[in-house]
Amino acid sequence: MMELQFTLVSPERSLCQNLAVRQVTLPGCEGQIQILPDHIDFVSTLMTGVFYYTLMDGKQHFGALSTGFVEVRQNRVRVFAHTAERAEDIDHARAVNAQRRAEEKLQGNGSARKYELKLQRALVRQQASRAAQQ
Ligand code: ATP
């Protein structure tokens, strides 16, 4: 079976290095981007969202990332993200607290872009950690 080599790094951690996978699905700016073997080479920006990939044995793994980009070249998929976590490493309660704090800040000062971005990350982390529990 054909495979992709998947690498995902953030400044703080490397989540995968040349991992053999069947597919990778990423949060693109205009919707989900699914990459299968033999995908055309491309580069694209990514938004804050849930990603998942399928190992060669069929197991799916979920995670959350916040903005970055992806490069696909000759069956190699490389993702560079500002933050990224595996679903099983996400502290759900921390994300719920971060959501609450960001919503409070946004109510006090509706223009704070920083808190909109924090809120997005908190919601996506909760989504990824729930997806992994299904
Ligand atoms: P918080 O207010 O909870 O720190 P944040 O959105 O400000 O949330 P970030 O600046 O995006 O946090 O991330 C800082 C670091 O903490 C990164 O390494 C990120 O992967 C990690 N991180 C953030 N939230 C969580 C979480 N809920 N579970 C696990 N790791 C997290």
Mutate to test the pocket of ligand 1, among 94, 99, 127 (most ligand atoms within 8 A of CB): 94
**Domain match, 16 and 64 both:** yes
Q: What is the pLDDT of residues 4-43, one digit of tens each?
A: 999 999 999 999 999 999 999 999 999 999 999 999 999 9
Domain count for the chain = 2
**Domain match, 10 and 29 both:** yes
Write down the mean pLDDT value for the chain.
Answer: 95
**Domain match, 60 and 116 both:** no
Q: What is the pLDDT of residues 89-133, one digit of tens each?
A: 999 999 999 999 999 999 886 668 889 999 999 999 999 999 988
Q: Nearest-CA neighbor of 66 among 54, 86, 50, 78?
A: 50
Q: Which helix (H) or strand (E) holds 14?
A: strand 14-28
**Domain match, 83 and 25 both:** yes
**Domain match, 58 and 101 both:** no
Q: What is the pLDDT of residues 39-60, one digit of tens each?
A: 999 999 999 999 999 999 999 9
Q: Which helix (H) or strand (E) holds 17?
A: strand 14-28
Establish whether residue 89 lines the binding site of ligand 1, counting it when its CB lies within 6 angstroms of any ligand atom.
yes
Domain that includes residue 101, residue range? 91-132
Establish whether residue 85 lines the binding site of ligand 1, counting it when its CB lies within 6 angstroms of any ligand atom.
yes
